[in-house]
Amino acid sequence: MLSFSVILVQNAYADVSSVETDDDSYQAGNDIIFSGTASGGDLIVLEIYSPVDNKIIVKTNTANDSGSFELSVRATDILIHPNGEGIYTVYVYELNSQGKENALVIKLNREDPNITVLEDALKLNSISKKTVDEKTLVSFTATLVKSISNVTFELANNPPTGATIESTTGKFSWTPTESQGPGTYTFDIVASDGLQQDKTTVTIEVREVTEQQTPPPPPPPEPEPDPIADFQQYVDSTKNPQYYVDRYNNEPSYKDWFDQNFPGITIYQAVGISEPKSTPPPPEPEPEPKPKSEPKSEPSPTKDNGIAKFVDPKKDPQYYVDRYNNEPSYKAWFETNYPDMTIYEAVGLPNPPPEKELAKFVDPKKDPQYYVDRYNNEPSYKAWFETNYPDMTIYEAVGLPAPQSGLCGTGTKLVDGVCKVTLETKTTKGGGCLIATAAYGTEMAHQVQFLREVRDNTLLSTESGTSFMTGFNDIYYSFSPTIADWERENPAFREAVKAFITPMVSTLSIMTLADQGSEEQVLFLGISVIALNLGMYIAAPAVVAIKVRKHLKLRK
């Protein structure tokens, strides 16, 4: 028997605890049976109200010794009622101890010639009386006893001026003016889903503010952003912090990425190690006194060869340039004492060429190498770039120095002045993990770095692993650029791919147990990882599908 039941939490004195119907649909000639349980011995009342809130049917009964009761209503009595089609509301309650205000509710939808029971009856929770001072915000949210979709909220029956309610969330807001207090305001909040409607009465008392009242304490300050905590999402806890310091000092692209995204901290603060102490700049030599007969003149800030006096010729000029770029106090000292010189002119080095403006499509938060890898590995991306930026190279567009002609790295070759990945590169270190990079947003993500380390340090350290990667990459790079493009164009698809590949990335941690260069361990653990992923992605779903199919056949 199919039935719909309503079970609500009542006050301590309530006696009717549940009520349900014997079916979900009725026609003329059917009896609608309402059955339920009650804990007391009072008379149980069933009232049915029409869509215009007229009471049209009243039934009564008492519960038996076991606490059960049953009430019957003819469907014809509802179908012939002149109020017509719409929602008919059924209230069931004990007469004396419970009352209609705490009744259990069932909604009947009359669509001639049928009556259907609405599975989710729309009912608002009651809202307690609110008290607020003049010029003080009062805010609360109207909620339903049971969640129903597509419900809208509105105010009715003389709401106070200035009061508002968000139609989709039910959030009420009102700041009483000085002229609105003192006073008491009573109005209704109405909820509707197009078929059903319910309302609850709200009472708000506005108090007049007196001089003796203590003003409310100020709100707590907003928490300051923590750039160190933000940087931790890019840090692999298994790595030595010095690894990131070395990358900052040795890789210009990594340094530029860090300085642009975390300008308020140093790389040492970001990774939690002490910054090495720097040598303060040497004091300026005092100018030699001149005879009184000579006219006064300012001492020359440079030596005869144009180099500033503070420069020690025994030191590498780059030492002073690095101090200028990395030490704010040193930079301020230099610019105060040598306003007409650049640091390069002061130490006898040529000024670097001015920085070129990045192309508009470049996200400064991403590693510039990300765009170079896409250009080298994705033909569609390369064609798009060359069509829209014919006067720039990919290196100029992202602010990286172009590789020197004829000096391309292992696995690349010079094509049209640009080092491009060759087919063999897909089996050597440094290839792009295109799908994972697009899924996690940046190649600096911990998961992407982990995949590269497993590939470079474990698989490619053995002949069997290298052979596997050669075959794998022939397949992987045939479709991965397209998948990566889809991820970047569709955020929902990107999240789905991330959820799909995260278990696989986790299983690859097994490969870290293999010693570097051990054919036996890499082969054994590699087969184990492949078997585990086949079990997760193919065997387990297949078993579930078979069991569900058998279960559905048994039900038939």
Query: How far, CA to CA in Å, does 374 sit from each of 275, 399, 440, 444, 545?
Result: 36, 15, 15, 15, 39
What pLDDT score does 555 carry? 79
Strands 138-141 and 152-156 come out as unpaired
Domain count of the fold of the chain: 4
What pLDDT score does 3 carry? 38
Rounded Cα distance, 542 and 556, in Å: 21
pLDDT < 70 regions, the chain? 1-14, 40, 119-120, 211-216, 222-225, 277-305, 354-356, 403-432, 515-517, 556
Query: Is 385 inside any structural domain?
Result: no
Query: Is 336 inside any structural domain?
Result: yes
Query: Is 354 inside any structural domain?
Result: no
**Same domain? 242 vs 342:** yes
Pull the structure tokens for residue 119. 């599975």
Q: What is the pLDDT of residues 136-177, one digit of tens each?
A: 999 999 998 888 888 999 999 999 999 999 999 999 999 999
Pull the structure tokens for residue 382. 């390369």
Pick the closest to residue 435 from 467, 472, 465 (CA basis).
472
Pull the structure tokens for residue 16. 């009717």
**DSSP at 169:** T
**Same domain? 112 vs 12:** yes
Rounded Cα distance, 307 and 149, in Å: 76
Tell me the pTM: 0.28
**Same domain? 109 vs 187:** no
What phi and psi values does residue 207 have, to the nearest 5 degrees?
-95, 145
Residues 6+ apart with CB under 8 A from 125: 142, 143, 144, 145, 200
**Same domain? 13 vs 93:** yes
**Same domain? 237 vs 342:** yes
- Residue that terminates a domain, selected from 175, 207, 239: 207
- Strand segments (E) across 232-340: none
> What angle, rounded to 10 degrees, do the helices at 463-489 and 379-388 form?
50
Strand partners, 186: 203
Q: What is the pLDDT of residues 273-297, one digit of tens each?
A: 887 765 455 555 545 445 444 434 3
Query: How far, CA to CA in Å, does 15 sit from each of 11, 22, 57, 122?
Result: 9, 21, 22, 22
Query: Max CA-CA distance within the chain?
Result: 130
Domain range for 484 is 422-537
Per-residue HEC secondary structure of 62-97 comes to: CCCCCCEEEEEEEHHHHHCCCCCCEEEEEEEEECCC
